[in-house]
Structure 1
Amino acid sequence: MSIKLILDKCNGCTLCVRACPFSAIAMVNKKAVIDQGICNLCGACLPACKFKAIVIDKVPAQVVKINLADYKGVWVFVEQKKGKIQSVSFELLGKARELAAKLDTYVGAVFLGNQIEIEAQELISCGADTVYLAEAPQLANFQDEPYTKVLVKLIDKYKPAIVLCGATFIGRSLISRVAVKINTGLTADCTALDIEPQKKILLQTRPAFGGNIMATIVTPNHRPQMATVRHKVMPQPLPDKQRKGKIIKEFFHNDELHSRTKLLDIIEEVEGLVNLAEADIIVSGGRGMSGQDNFKIIHELAEVLGGGVGSSRAAVDSGWMPYSHQVGQTGRTVSPKIYIACGISGQIQHLVGMQSSKIIIAINKDPDAPIFKIATYGIIGDLFEIVPALTKRFKEVLRR
């Protein structure tokens, strides 16, 4: 796009000068002059000019059409740490298997690391038909540049229709770079994936507008279709040791694996007594806790049950709980056997982080709270009476 001034129409009124938020317009000899180096084409000056003396020429972007039929397969980028495959990758393989069945295509797994071939069969057991294996010392630990180069080259070579990746620190850093390099779309933090039956395109559902609505996004004209999914959103498939598949070894030159950054050290995240993402039981508190000191009863119940302590965003924003305990769209995604929500209303932002829990117990004094719509069991009442009573009873039954 470009901006230009029609001098014959400009009468020197200075309205455009006052409207420009970047001070890119000045008056010279009673005529507006636009500094092209400062102007960012925001268009704020257009409605300000009553004489239509300013015009922005919009040149349509050239669309490079591709043959969508050339792209086949559902791929999963496999995340590993110290050679150990992360559980989010197995969860994605299960979903990839489901999507591939609807498309009548294969499931591919991209596995990068060093001396990791022994782990590849585990990917086949969990749903992969083909494992694309790249091993090199430079790939032992994740680094943006070499991982991006390798994944881009593999996509260009094999042309998958769909690429899935975990919405982890590694996945978020990697897959956005790849999407830009190959000029395709990316939907982050999806909570659901499906195939549109007629057009056979990927339906990517995620929270939008602050989590107040759920949006389904498609990538109709570009390939591959790319999406990230948070840990614990999808169920992990049961491995089938009898499954057969193939391993394709890919080799890359040292210059392709070069990185301008140097990995100095890896510092593991310090977890609490219970890793929230892996806890079988989680007791969470929300705005209804009414203060930091009141979370004591949440901790007591969680301790008796041997579970973890979670919280809603409202509790974290109020300073009652640290961010590491936040469950929801902007916090952790969890899938425990039992999730006890205390004083949590149940906004979408929170639900997307815990709705895959096996059993959900909601405690809230508001009978119309949205949390009750997804709760397995609901208790309407004062949580400050109910939670201590539950703790007391569990102590008696469990003899703790």
Structure 2
Amino acid sequence: MSQQKILVIALLQRGVVSPAVYELLTAGRSLANVLKQPLAAYLPGGTAEQAKELVERGADRVLWSGHAALKDFNDELHAQAVLAAAAQEQPSWVLIPGSVAGRSLACRVAVKLGAGLATDINEIDPASGAVKRSHYSGNLQATMEFKSPVRVVTVQAMVFPQAPAQAGRAGEVTELAYAPAAAGTEFISFQAEEAGEIDLGGAERIVSGGRGVGGADGFKAIRDLAHALGAAVAASRAAVDSGWIPYRHQVGLTGRTVRPKLYVACGISGQVQHLAGMSSAANIVAINTDPECPMMQQATYLVVGDMFELLPLIVAEIKKRRGQPVAA
């Protein structure tokens, strides 16, 4: 039986290695160093060149499969491929990005491996094997321990730093033969985000709107500020449920979890479900007419006022300082 390894699953986003994978390599290296196990990675749907980059970023051994069936994410087919890699690598830990795709994949893999599963974790103790995840806007930190010898975890984005590239670093790169079995689902098409949109997952700046935006037209002011700041656009569940903005922009327990350097909350009261998705932001600016709302209590900077009066003034000031023309 081969030596157990730490196994990172390197998922792709439209053919590109997800930045979250580089964060997993940092987490995996910490585990590998303490447990004295090699750090392996599996790249489904990737290329040999992408596999070599994972070696440069810390993996000791990388398996990759370039089969066309893995080009677009399908949790059934990807689970088959990951299980084939796990059978070869005999992992003690399987680290998977905490994305929608990653969580779906992790469930299937954990069941088939008979492994323990923990999702959306933000801390790993390599010595004890315990993991932690936050609840209730970070007010509660749950510690979980595994009874199973194999542990499958999904890791929240932007918790660990990205592993830096080390040009010339040596490691093993091997193609893993993969023959897909029949699947009950089929990939049909991919719908891209609107041109110019910044993805919430890795955004350093986010401007978000809630019930106080008042309607779909109100998000124009949100988008104008986001464009001026080079920020992503987000929303509360109330705004999404009202049909004002697509679900992909939703932040909170039932949406995305984000950790930007700047989060501007406009017209968002700050229900606990929303705070759970953004309370780890480095700086929170709350703009609201209610000075007593929960978001104001959470904010680094508080602005009491009407967002529709304030946001155009902020945009104009940003343009002025950049020497850009300001609309009259």
Q: Is this a same-fold pair by TM over 0.5?
A: yes
1:195 alignment partner, one of 97, 121, 125:
125
Equivalent-residue separation in structure 2 for 1:138 and 1:341 (angstroms): 41
72-81 or 212-221, which moves further after superposition?
212-221
Tell me the SS of whatever aligns to 2:278: coil
Identity of counterpart residues, as a percentage?
A: 34
Give how far 1:88 is off.
Answer: 2.2
Equivalent-residue separation in structure 2 for 1:296 and 1:308 (angstroms): 13
Write the letter of the residue equivalent to 2:102.
G
Matched, 1:382 2:314: no
Give how far 1:120 is off.
Answer: 0.9
TM-score normalised by L of structure 2: 0.80
Q: Which residue of 2 aligns with 1:26?
A: none
Give how far 1:224 is off.
Answer: 1.6
Equivalent-residue separation in structure 1 for 2:64 and 2:279 (angstroms): 34
Tell me the SS of whatever aligns to 1:276: coil
Give how far 1:194 is off.
Answer: 1.6
Aligned pair in 2 of structure 1 residues 260, 309: CA closer, same or farther (>3 Å)? closer
2:82 alignment partner, one of 151, 163, 170:
151
Write the letter of the residue equivalent to 1:120.
A
Aligned pair in 2 of structure 1 residues 141, 104: CA closer, same or farther (>3 Å)? same
Tell me the SS of whatever aligns to 2:91: coil
Q: Which residue of 2 aligns with 1:354?
A: 278
Q: Which residue of 2 aligns with 1:174?
A: 105
1:1-400 correspondence runs (5 A): 72-81=4-13, 83-113=15-45, 116-190=47-121, 192-195=122-125, 197=127, 200-207=128-135, 214=140, 216-252=142-178, 254=179, 257-261=180-184, 263=186, 265-271=188-194, 273-277=196-200, 279-289=203-213, 292-355=216-279, 357=281, 359-364=283-288, 371=295, 375=299, 377-384=300-307, 385-398=309-322, 399-400=324-325
> What per-residue deviation string (whole Å, max 9, x for no partner) do you get for residues 135-193 of structure 1?
44444444444432332243244332211112334323322111111212222233x12
Q: Are the aligned partners of 1:188 and 1:206 in contact in 2 as well (CA < 8 Å)?
A: no
Write the letter of the residue equivalent to 1:86.
S
Paired residues in the alignment total 321
Equivalent-residue separation in structure 1 for 2:119 and 2:83 (angstroms): 18
Give how far 1:352 is off.
Answer: 4.5
RMSD: 3.3
Aligned pair in 2 of structure 1 residues 276, 158: CA closer, same or farther (>3 Å)? closer
Give how far 1:78 is off.
Answer: 0.9
Equivalent-residue separation in structure 1 for 2:92 and 2:114 (angstroms): 14
Equivalent-residue separation in structure 2 for 1:266 and 1:293 (angstroms): 29
Aligned pair in 2 of structure 1 residues 219, 132: CA closer, same or farther (>3 Å)? farther
Q: Are the aligned partners of 2:262 and 2:281 in contact in 1 as well (CA < 8 Å)?
A: yes
Tell me the SS of whatever aligns to 1:251: coil
Equivalent-residue separation in structure 2 for 1:137 and 1:320 (angstroms): 37
> What per-residue deviation string (whole Å, max 9, x for no partner) do you get for residues 248-304 of structure 1?
44335x4xx322457464323333532232545321123444555544432332233
Gaps of 5+ in 1: 1-69
Aligned pair in 2 of structure 1 residues 347, 195: CA closer, same or farther (>3 Å)? farther
Q: Are the aligned partners of 1:328 and 1:354 in contact in 2 as well (CA < 8 Å)?
A: yes
Higher RCO (C-alpha 8 Å, min separation 6): 2
Give how far 1:118 is off.
Answer: 1.6
Q: Are the aligned partners of 1:163 and 1:226 in contact in 2 as well (CA < 8 Å)?
A: yes
Aligned pair in 2 of structure 1 residues 332, 152: CA closer, same or farther (>3 Å)? same
TM-score normalised by L of structure 1: 0.68
